[in-house]
Structures are given as structure tokens and as C-alpha cells.
């Protein structure tokens, strides 16, 4: 039967689609294959056909669901493709499929000896059916969680496309607390995902595993502990190794996963530092593209608010000059503020202050960045002033500030009654400085 031309009326489409379904019902093997392929073609080319299948074909949805049990792999795959198109059309079509009982046979495709192509299609159907955690309980009730985890556990046989599709479904339903706990306690998802992160060469599968592990860990403290005990922190740090070829996207996802997983307890921070995480963050602060550098900066910002020991380790690793450089070079106000705040936080540690003033350039750059670019000091500039407040507590810090050619920037801020600028100059004190400022303003608080 001829395919209706573009712009055909609904009546013509109805007649054509009904004929295809008649062939699917009563035709021989070859006729059913041809009809299933033709149905998919018309569904993809004209979305009005979706409504025809749902509304104008007697038990059209039921017939397609029934074809999922077909022993003919070609027919089964075409039926899965058709159901996938219908599931993605709108919420009511998705509801018709679920009401027709589609979830159980789709999961059976994942569990049986169906080929990889059929399983990939089945996983894509589930992905559409579970968007925004829709139908999560129905998937779990029919054994879908275990089936999806098993696909990920056999990632070498399953192939990257199928594993990624399975992870996407798990990601859609992990937000349901009871299902997340089942994934962890009963389905054994965490060691499977860590193995997936460590094992395959398929980077997209590794990215999916990282995102899913972070989502599991963010749910509750017990799940987070299970994830950490499986060595996830160390595996994520290995994903940042610059000696191993990986895309910037993979490294960004690894940094975000570490942020979600590892900054909640001293033990997890110790794991990170023991796994040379500081060196990795510093490398990408220096060498990452704009997005990756921003992710590394967020990690540094989080780290310098963890503990005195962590701030000291960051100072030893060489973070402070890099943070000054970012404040100086970054175009984004947010980036400059974050770097300046991190630098200020590190100055609360005495040995960091001592290290910072050993290099004349550090203090000079901070003073230079106080230049009069705006009427009111920006947030970044306020953090830089707080940094100088810390430095002015020591004789060496005061000497470096006073000897800098950029100290005039501090004077100008003090003249406008910026509190921290006045506080710094009062700490500097002495007739030499008062003469330098020509008595322009009072040293009284």
C-alpha cells in the first residue's frame, strides 16, 4: 500500500495506519516485518500518526505491546522503536502505554536473551517512561532496578550504548528514597558503578557512572558511606589524572561528583588529600579550559573552608599565587570573588601568611588589584582587603605592604572611609606612613 504523501489528511493517515496494523495482526513473518518498519517510518515522519495509533486504531497500543513478546527479533525491535516514539509524544500517550501494561514486557526484554539492539531500545523506552521519576515504582515492582544494574555489571558484554541507557533510567528513579536504598542495599549498584567507573574505555559510560554515584551519595549519609567505602573518592581522583587522556567534560563531572560526595566529612577529605587531589585541582587551576578551571576553583573554594590542616596543605601545595593570578586575570566577577574569598580564607593560617609574604610579587599584586575601578569596592576587592588585614598582623607583612609601589591604592580606599583599608593603615602606623599619606585622613577608627 502506498505511503501517504506529505500533508496527507488525517483520514488518509488513518486508513494507511489501520492497514499496517491489519498486516501486523494477520500477516506472515515477512509481511509483519515490512509493516512494522513502515509504521516506524510514518511515526517518525509525521507526528499526527502517533495520535492516530493511540486514538483511531482499535487496540493499537495493545498490539504493539504484544509484539514485544515476538520471537522475531526484527519485529520486536521495530515494536520497541514505535513504542519509544509514542512514549516521547506527550504525557497522555505515555499514560496509555503504562496503562496498557508496557513496563513488564519491556523489562522482560532486558532480562531475557534478546540481542543488544533490542535491549538498547528497551532501555530507551524506559528512559522516556521514567522522565522526572514518573513510573519509578512500576519499574521497580517489575524487577527493573535489578535488570538495569545487571546490564551495568556486565558492561563488557552489554556495550557502551546499552550501559549508558541503563544508567539514564537508574538516574531518573534514584531520587525516590526507597528505590535508592534498594539500589544500594539489595541490587548491589554501588560496586557495579565503581567498577564501571574504573573499567571500560567508554568515556560516556564512565560519566554516567560518576553522575549516578553522586546522586546515590547525595541522598542520605548511610548511602554516602557505602559509596565512599567502595573507593569511589580515589577512583574519581584517578579520573582527574592529567596523564590519562580524558575529555574536559569527564573531568568536570568527576570534580562535581567529588564536590557532592567528599566534602561532608573529615574522613572523606583525608581520602581526597591522600589520593593527591590537591595536586589535581592545582593542575587544572593552571591548565584547564575556562569551564574546567571554574570547576577546579569551586573545589579549591570548598576545600579552604574545611579545616586549618587542609588550608595549610593547600598553602604547601602552591595554591595562593594561583588564586591571586585568577583574581587578576578572570573576566567573570563570580570567578574573581570566589578566588579572592579562597585566598582570604587561607590567610587565617599563620604559616600561609608567612609563605605568602616571602614573595614580593604576591603582596604587590594584591595591592595592585585594589586599583580604583569602581566607586564602591567589589566583593572580590573586599576579600583582598581582608587578606591584607591578616598580612598586616606581622612585621614582615607590614613592611611588604609599605614598600610596594601600589600602596597608594590602599590610601585612596582609606580616604573614602573603607573600613578595612583604614584598619590596615592603622596597623601599619608610624610617622613614615603618616608622612606618606600627607595627613589626608585621620587614623582614628
- Over the chain (445 residues), the average pLDDT of each successive run of 10 is 65 90 94 95 89 92 96 96 95 95 97 90 96 92 97 84 95 95 95 89 91 92 91 93 92 94 84 90 94 95 92 95 95 94 96 94 94 78 95 90 90 87 82 48 44
Residue 390, burial from CB neighbour count under 10 angstroms (0-12, 13-18, 19+): buried
The per-residue pLDDT for 365 is 95
Residue 53: exposure state from Cβ atoms within 10 A (0-12, 13-18, ≥19): buried
Per CATH, domain 1-101 is 1.25.10.10: yes
What confidence score (pLDDT) does residue 271 get?
A: 86
Run of H or E residues at 147 = helix 144-153
At residue 4, the pLDDT reads 65
- 69, 173, 174, 71: which is closest to 122 by C-alpha? 69
Positive or negative, the CA dihedral 243, 245, 247, 252 is negative
pLDDT at 114: 79
Contact 65, 101 (CB under 8 A): yes
Nearest by Cα to 235 from 184, 195, 278: 195
Closest CA to 387 of 374, 370, 409, 403: 370
DSSP letter, residue 69 = T
Q: Which fold has domain 114-239+247-261?
A: 1.25.10
Give the residue range(s) of CATH 1.25.10.10 domains in the chain. 1-101, 114-239+247-261, 317-445
On the 0-12 / 13-18 / 19+ scale of CB atoms within 10 A, 361 is exposed
Taking every pair of Cα atoms in the chain, the longest distance, rounded to a whole number of angstroms, is 104
- pTM for this prediction: 0.85
Q: What fold is seen in the domain 317-445?
A: 1.25.10
DSSP-based three-state secondary structure for 429? coil
Amino acid at each position: 500500500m502506498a505511503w501517504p504523501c506529505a500533508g496527507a489528511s488525517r483520514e488518509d493517515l488513518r486508513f494507511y495506519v489501520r492497514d499496517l496494523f491489519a498486516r501486523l495482526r494477520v500477516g506472515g513473518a515477512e509481511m509483519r516485518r515490512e509493516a512494522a518498519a513502515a509504521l516506524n517510518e510514518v511515526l517518525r515522519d509525521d507526528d499526527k500518526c502517533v495520535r492516530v495509533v493511540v486514538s483511531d486504531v482499535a487496540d493499537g497500543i495493545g498490539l504493539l505491546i504484544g509484539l514485544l513478546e515476538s520471537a522475531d527479533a526484527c519485529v520486536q525491535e521495530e515494536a520497541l522503536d514505535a513504542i519509544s516514539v509514542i512514549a516521547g509524544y506527550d504525557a497522555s500517550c505515555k499514560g496509555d502505554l503504562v496503562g496498557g501494561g508496557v513496563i513488564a514486557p519491556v523489562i522482560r526484554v532486558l532480562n531475557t536473551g534478546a540481542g543488544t539492539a533490542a535491549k538498547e531500545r528497551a532501555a530507551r523506552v524506559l528512559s522516556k517512561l521514567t522522565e522526572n521519576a514518573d513510573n519509578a515504582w512500576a519499574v521497580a515492582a517489575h524487577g527493573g532496578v535489578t535488570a538495569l544494574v545487571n546490564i551495568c555489571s556486565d558492561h563488557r558484554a552489554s556495550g557502551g550504548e546499552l550501559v549508558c541507557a541503563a544508567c539514564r533510567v537508574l538516574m531518573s528513579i534514584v531520587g525516590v528514597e526507597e528505590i535508592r536504598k534498594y539500589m544500594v542495599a539489595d541490587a548491589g549498584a554501588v560496586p557495579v558503578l565503581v567498577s564501571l567507573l574504573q573499567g571500560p574505555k567508554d568515556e560516556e559510560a564512565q560519566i554516567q557512572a560518576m553522575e549516578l554515584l553522586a546522586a546515590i551519595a547525595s541522598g542520605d549519609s548511610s548511602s554516602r558511606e557505602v559509596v565512599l567505602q567502595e573507593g569511589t573518592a580515589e577512583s574519581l581522583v584517578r579520573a582527574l589524572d592529567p596523564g590519562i587522556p580524558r575529555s574536559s567534560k569527564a573531568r568536570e563531572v568527576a570534580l562535581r561528583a567529588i564536590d557532592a560526595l567528599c566534602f561532608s566529612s573529615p574522613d572523606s577529605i583525608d581520602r581526597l588529600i591522600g589520593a593527591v587531589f590537591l595536586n589535581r585541582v592545582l593542575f587544572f587551576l593552571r591548565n584547564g579550559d575556562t569551564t574546567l578551571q571554574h570547576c577546579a576553583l569551586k573545589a579549591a573554594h570548598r576545600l579552604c573552608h574545611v579545616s586549618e590542616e587542609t588550608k595549610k596543605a593547600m598553602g604547601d601545595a602552591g595554591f595562593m599565587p594561583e588564586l591571586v593570578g585568577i583574581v587578576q586575570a578572570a573576566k567573570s566577577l563570580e570567578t574573581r570573588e570566589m578566588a579572592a574569598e579562597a585566598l582570604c580564607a587561607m590567610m587565617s593560617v599563620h604559616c600561609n601568611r608567612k609563605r605568602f609574604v616571602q614573595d614580593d610579587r604576591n603582596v604587590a599584586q594584591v595591592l595592585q588589584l585594589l586599583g580604583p575601578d569602581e566607586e564602591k569596592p567589589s566583593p572580590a576587592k573586599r576579600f583582598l582587603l581582608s587578606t591584607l588585614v591578616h598580612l598586616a598582623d606581622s612585621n614582615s607583612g607590614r613592611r611588604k605592604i609599605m614598600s610596594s609601589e601600589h600602596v597608594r591604592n590602599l590610601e585612596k580606599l582609606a580616604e573614602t572611609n573603607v573600613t578595612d583599608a583604614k584598619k590596615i593603615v592603622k596597623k601599619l602606623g608610624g610617622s613614615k606612613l603618616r608622612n606618606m599619606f600627607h595627613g589626608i585622613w585621620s587614623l582614628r577608627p
